[in-house]
Amino acid sequence: MRRAFTIVEIIFVIVVLGMLAAIALPKFKEMLAQADISKAKSTVTAIQSGLQVYKNKHILLGQDPYPSTLDSDNDHLFDKVLPHAISPSTKPGGWSKENDRYIFHVDGSRKLVFKYDAASGRFVCDPDKTTPTELCDQF
């Protein structure tokens, strides 16, 4: 005599797995977004440190303490203050540039917008309608 699962048992297992997936997937998606935000924090800290190194070096040379822009062209972001330039990308976890604004793409709908002030050497999050203030508060 062969023993097998009944169709009711199989359907029950599928329903339970579906419910677990419905609970886990949104949490996993938010966890990925938080990882991308942590990546952005690390990059912003590196940019701010790079600005300090640039300032110290150029003050000793009697030059302007801060660069007029953070990158030399649109294909290499932050190459004036970071040892390795960042390639522009609009995918989640990527950086892009629009005019004088640097944009970190958290996910499809959330973005962090940063502005660089060459006079003061400040690189800060700039809340607007696409950047929620609570996200900027983390920087």
- Answer yes or no: is 1 within a domain: no
- Tally of domains within the chain: 1
- Answer yes or no: is 17 within a domain: yes
Local structure of residue 104 (DSSP, 8 states): E
- Answer yes or no: is 116 within a domain: yes
Which residues constitute the domain of residue 96?
7-136
- Answer yes or no: is 110 within a domain: yes
* Each residue's pLDDT tens digit, 57-111: 988 888 888 998 899 887 889 999 999 889 999 998 899 998 888 999 888 778 8
24-33's contacts with Cβ under 8 Å and 24+ in sequence apart are 29/107, 32/92, 33/92, 33/106, 33/107, 33/110
User: Does the structure show a pLDDT above 80 at 134?
Assistant: no
- Answer yes or no: is 2 within a domain: no
- Answer yes or no: is 117 within a domain: yes
